[in-house]
Chain A
Amino acid sequence: MATSGSTTSGGASQSSNKHGEGKTTEGSVPAAKHLLTATAARAKAAAAAAAEGNRVDGRHTAAFRDIHMALGLVSPAAGSAYVELGGTKVVAAVYGPKPSFDAQFTASANVETHVSSAPFAAAGERTSYVPSDSDAEASLLVQAALAAAVRRDAYPKSTIEVRLLVLEDDGATTGACVSAASLALAHAGIEMYDLAVGATVVQLGDALLVDPSRPEEDAAQGAVALAYMPAVDELSQYALTGQFDPATLATATELALDAARKWAELMRTVLRDSVTAQSS
């Protein structure tokens, strides 16, 4: 989810930082509190900048950060991609199509997605290697986003496994996961209807910010994180958090779609270049 990790609303059932009943261990509290204070300070700075119509890194409200994409970093995988969206870093690897050994016959492929985060990826305390609730949620969201894009009917009785590793979470992570997974699927030669591209827009005060950084996401009242397939003009994922009125929502959606279209062009260039590099 766009606002997973260190939420500031008291935490829903997915909070992986909850302490439950009982005392916390003395040693972890000062270190964790220091990180949280730093995170809170950055979020406040982002909110203050947005109130004046600016952003902390000086971007335009509708501009996304520098994107770096590379293919083929994971050698045993059928296809892989590495995406950097500002500070957010995601590695995607695709294994398959491999036969599924389920008892039930499936006429179309099962796209299994697993998102995991490195322990140092999020702000706040170190998280364990055991997948957290927010990772499980992200896996479901990314899986739904990719299932619409892949030509699943072309691979009956098969499973296509997509594994994502978030190395650093600096905002708009689910979107980066979707885009990285699409690149990896294309690199693996899996047949697709279109590339699914992720885009996130948050509402901070009165401002709508495209491609938020972590402090901007933390300070936001609401977020729209979507996955869009520009060539077939369909949304394969749409996740809204926070409270919106319908007019603001329509504007936010349009901004996110625009950002997705631009990123799709960049993704196609990267894929074309990798193919021409291989054949030359």
Chain B
Amino acid sequence: MEDKAKMVGEVFSQVASKYDLMNDAMSGGMHRMWKDDFVAMLGPCRGMSIVDLAGGTGDISFRMIDALSSQRKIVGSAESAIDTHVTVCDINAEMLQEGRRRAKNDRPAVVDGISLQWVQGDAENLPFPDGSVDAVTIAFGLRNVSRTWKALSEINRILTKGGRFLCMEFSQVKDPLLRQAYDAYSFNVIPAMGGFLAGDPQPYQYLVESIRQFHDQETLADLMRDAGMKHVTYKNILGGVVAIHSGFRL
């Protein structure tokens, strides 16, 4: 258990700055679209308190800020009052520093009543009070958590009544033909790309393995229900290469 956590820490320290490049190469640029859809699905609104987990470099949170910025500040609050909180919580300090670096250019810590904050934390022991968060998101991060059930339990704990959990993650492809093509791509092309672009195939071998070992769609949905979430649903992208799961605390 400790081994996996350490390995994950090392893997991400290595890949922090090359993260985007590899994401683009591996998904043919599609990961951007997936992330756009993911945030659109949440439909972030002013007044919400949102926690984005494992989102160190800011991909998801920046999209949230963009969506929120186009909405008007809640009427009645004082000039300097913050009505919306977005917190990025990641286990890796380097990823967070990278995210904060990118944010400094476009998105200051507080703009027009929306705050963007960075916290180093563990999904299995979330540093947030019970029932304090309206939405928890995690994009391509849940598979890196050692004990999925523990993270889900913590996520459910911090959600308010009516709060929503949205998870985007690599999942299982059922169709045999598609599966064959996908496996060939994953096991051959991806580590080779990693070796070429990032100089080290190992993190990408880890990536491919972690995808293969992660829970399939139904299992993850059951785990979410076990954690107390209701109205648990999921939808597949690319035949199951990626799945988006949704659950509520009611």
Q: Do A and B come from one complex?
A: no
Binding site for B on A (CB under 8 A): none
Binding site for A on B (CB under 8 A): none
